[in-house]
Amino acid sequence: MAIHGGHDKDPRYSHLTPVYATSTFVYDTAEQGMHRFSGKEDGYIYTRWSNPTTDEAMNKIAAMETFGLSDSAGNPLKATGYLQSSGMAAISSLFLSTLKKGDKILSHYSLYGGSQDFIDKLLPDLGIECIIDDLRDLNKAEEALKRDSGIKMVYIETPANPTLQCVDLEALTKLAKQYNKLVACDNTFATPYLQQPFGYGVDFIIHSTTKFLNGHGTAIGGVFLGLDIEFMATQARKTFRLLGGNSNPFDAYLLINGLKTLEVRMDRHCHNAMEVAGFLESHGAVSKVNYHGLTSHPDYAVAAKQMRHPGAMMSFELKGGLEAGTRMMNNLKMCTRTVSLGTCDTLLCHPASMTHYSVPKEKREQYGITDGLIRLSTGMENVQDIIRDLEQALR
Ligand SMILES: Cc1ncc(COP(=O)(O)O)c(C=O)c1O
């Protein structure tokens, strides 16, 4: 699916989908242009709206997110959506197409810093509030749903950045549906190879394609997908087109090529992550490892139920706290000190001062994003090289 899914035969017989580097598309006649605008005739109009290269990338991710899934009538599940300029653009399209003044979101601890900021700093000005609780506890989720009929959407990010907390996709979605709520999931950390939220009745999926989906750190991007084809073709499309947060053909081309190797890359990332997590857990300088592939992790069972493999992300704390963490990061010789994740090389960052810097300290602490936490995105290097570098950095 990752290799062939979403591909349309090129009319000029190009093997790979070309980079359609064009802002606009021409019409044979004025009438044809009119018909394309009115929807009487299919065809491309303007790249902010759609483009063959960006469409192929979106279709590929939609095909991967629905692979092997069927609807209640037994028909293959179909999703559609929009390729966006970033994960944040995808989140903007999601929120702004589904929510209006007076609506509320129910979400959980430890969201990506940008998502948390969007919820805290932009949505309240539009009259949209967010209730945050520890939704690993389903009783808390049910209490909130019972208490507040204004909740329109349950917003999930599992595994969550950077604590790797996991919520139960199946149970939480079932609960949300009992109360007639929309459910959206940020599937960036897992990728569709490891986890398929649509299989649990989730309505919308967003990704930062900047991460594992691109896989090489060559482009910022995002995707906004939905199962309700009618909604996606109307309200979602209006929002996407008017916000102008589309991706571009070149970034889409890079993404298409990255997607083709997702499965083999993830197998290597995941294998390495398990070894690295085991190494860190047994190291005397490390006080805590957040990796739900370890049986010591509180969300081990939930992750095992809904993910093919726990993935390649983890975070950890050192006994010496922030000071020891800073020293360790400065000692790295091969692994890279940077934000972002999902690239071929191993990346380490300090969430409290970097990705989650703008989340207030009290909230960070409540969500488990402590000052001493270091996040690690396991790369595809020889795993012994990664461990050797971490070992010498922890000396
Ligand atoms: C889980 C998650 N969601 C969304 C985003 C936002 O993506 P982008 O940086 O592509 O806008 C990020 C970025 O790190 C992320 O980690």
Average pLDDT over every residue of 76-91: 98
pLDDT tier for residue 371 given thresholds of 50, 70 and 90: confident
pLDDT tier for residue 357 given thresholds of 50, 70 and 90: confident
Q: Is the pLDDT of residue 140 over 90?
A: yes
What pLDDT, on the 0 to 100 scale, is given for residue 84? Answer: 98
**What distance in angstroms lies between residue 161's CA and the mean position of ligand 1's atoms?**
9
Point out the ligand 1 atom lying closest to the alpha carbon of residue 89.
Answer: 11
Each residue of 283-297: pLDDT tens digit? Answer: 999 999 999 999 999
Q: Is the pLDDT of residue 224 over 90?
A: yes
Distances (CA, A) of 233 to 79, 88, 178, 221, 286: 11, 21, 26, 21, 50
Point out the ligand 1 atom lying closest to the alpha carbon of residue 220.
Answer: 10
- Smallest CA separation from ligand 1 atom 6, residue: 87
**What distance in angstroms lies between residue 150's CA and the mean position of ligand 1's atoms?**
27
Q: Is the pLDDT of residue 359 over 90?
A: no
- Smallest CA separation from ligand 1 atom 8, residue: 87
pLDDT tier for residue 356 given thresholds of 50, 70 and 90: confident
Alpha helices in the chain (DSSP H): 30-38, 52-66, 87-98, 113-117, 138-147, 169-178, 191-194, 229-233, 235-243, 249-260, 262-282, 300-306, 321-331, 361-367, 383-393
**DSSP string for 190-248:** THHHH--GGGGT-SEEEEETTTTTT-SS----EEEEES-HHHHHTHHHHHHHHHT-B--
What pLDDT, on the 0 to 100 scale, is given for residue 24? Answer: 98
**What are the structure tokens assigned to 318, written together?**
């050192």
Q: Which of 223, 248, 205, 254 is nearest to 50 (CA)?
A: 248
Best residue among 116, 156, 188, 225 to mutate for probing ligand 1, ranked by most atoms within 8 Å of CB: 188
Q: Is 157 in the pocket of ligand 1 (CB under 6 A)?
A: yes
**What distance in angstroms lies between residue 231's CA and the mean position of ligand 1's atoms?**
24
**What distance in angstroms lies between residue 267's CA and the mean position of ligand 1's atoms?**
22
284 close to 212: Cβ distance less than 8 angstroms: no
- Smallest CA separation from ligand 1 atom 7, residue: 87
Residue written as tokens 């139920």? 305
Estimate to the nearest angstrom the gap between the alpha carbon of 388 and the chain centroid. 30
DSSP 296: T
Work out the end-to-end distance of the chain between its first and last CA atoms, rounded to an integer number of angstroms: 44
Q: Is 188 in the pocket of ligand 1 (CB under 6 A)?
A: yes
Distances (CA, A) of 337 to 2, 133, 332, 333, 392: 30, 31, 8, 10, 15
- Smallest CA separation from ligand 1 atom 9, residue: 87
What pLDDT, on the 0 to 100 scale, is given for residue 331? Answer: 97
Average pLDDT for the chain = 96
Average pLDDT over every residue of 60-89: 97
Q: Is 187 in the pocket of ligand 1 (CB under 6 A)?
A: no
Q: Is 114 in the pocket of ligand 1 (CB under 6 A)?
A: yes
Average pLDDT over every residue of 88-110: 98
Paired strand residues for 316:
289, 374
Paired strand residues for 208:
222
53 close to 252: Cβ distance less than 8 angstroms: yes
Point out the ligand 1 atom lying closest to the alpha carbon of residue 161.
Answer: 1
What is the model's pTM?
A: 0.97
**What are the structure tokens assigned to 354, written together?**
């970097």
Q: Is the pLDDT of residue 227 over 90?
A: yes
Q: Is the pLDDT of residue 137 over 90?
A: yes
156 close to 165: Cβ distance less than 8 angstroms: no
**What distance in angstroms lies between residue 75's CA and the mean position of ligand 1's atoms?**
32
Best residue among 161, 204, 339 to mutate for probing ligand 1, ranked by most atoms within 8 Å of CB: 161
Mean pLDDT is lowest, of 113-122, 138-147, 359-368, for 359-368
3-state DSSP of 41-53: CCCCCECCCCCHH
What pLDDT, on the 0 to 100 scale, is given for residue 281? Answer: 97
